[in-house]
Amino acid sequence: MITLVCLFFLILKQSYCTNSDSLCLNLDVSITQKVEHEGFHREIRWLVETPSPSKKIWMESGCKLSLRLDVSPGMYVNPDEVAETNRTRKLLLHIDGSVDVEAPAHEATEHVVYIFLNSSDIGRISVDLPVHLRYQRSQITGGFGKVPLKKPSLLSWCPDSLDRICGKGLKVEAPCDETATRLCVWKNFTYQALFDDVELFVPVGDLDDYPLVSIVTLLLGCAGCIYVLSILSMTHI
């Protein structure tokens, strides 16, 4: 008798869990990445694809997705470009952290960029993010420096419960939208990354040219001073 009762509760519990799990949205997300252009000014292109759920079900859920990119000191996202992008509603972004666009790589700090994917067409979302590489310390023989480009994190938020999205994931606190007027608790869940880790190459100065550059700079400075003095000597006050 006890065995039958335990078996009954086990079947009932399993049935409840199955029904509960069926209520969540199963997001099978894949992301591809491509870096365009060369030199100091690049553009990261992501394509976020989700075969399910349908557009109608996703709209009814009220859930949102966002990308979080941890930007290394060797690059930066320009706050002025972000402000213009948010103004035109072309892309909704928020930068968390201070960004000095003039600082070289060895004096800069990391910052975080949130990209809010508010498109109703969850099946296929295209994102273009301009990034800029910083100047690095000169080195002997010059060459190129390396700047690591980290993979973005994918965050989800739902108004009723984070468990509205199927699967486990760490809970992280992040801005609710591009205004960053309040914080929400998002779920960081895994996705299929159809790309490898990337290192961007940036040209660096050649220390072997330092003596020549110093001499030329000094000569040009002296020539400029002589020219200015000659002009002043011929000017009658």
Whether 20 maps to a domain, the answer reads no
Q: Residue 115 forms beta bridges with which residues?
A: 67, 93
Kindly report the CATH number assigned to the domain that includes residue 67.
2.60.40
Residue 156 belongs to a domain: yes
Let me know if residue 121 belongs to a domain: yes
Our count of domains for the chain comes to 1
Does the residue 21 lie in any domain?
no
In a domain, 219, yes or no: no
Q: How confident is the model at residue 217 (pLDDT cuts 50, 70, 90)?
A: confident
Structural contact between residues 139 and 203, judged by C-beta atoms closer than 8 angstroms: no
Inside any domain, residue 212: no
Per-residue pLDDT tens over the stretch 41-80: 999 999 999 988 888 888 888 999 999 999 999 999 999 9
CB atoms within 10 A of CB 38: 11
Q: Is 193 exposed, middle or buried (0-12, 13-18, 19+ CB in 10 A)?
A: middle
Neighbouring-strand partners of residue 76: 132
Q: Give this prediction's pTM.
A: 0.78
Within-domain flag for 171: yes
Q: Which pLDDT score is estimated for 9?
A: 39
In a domain, 145, yes or no: yes
> What range defines the domain where residue 67 resides?
27-207
How much is the pLDDT for 100?
96
Q: Which pLDDT tens digit goes with each residue over 178-202?
A: 999 999 999 998 999 999 999 999 9
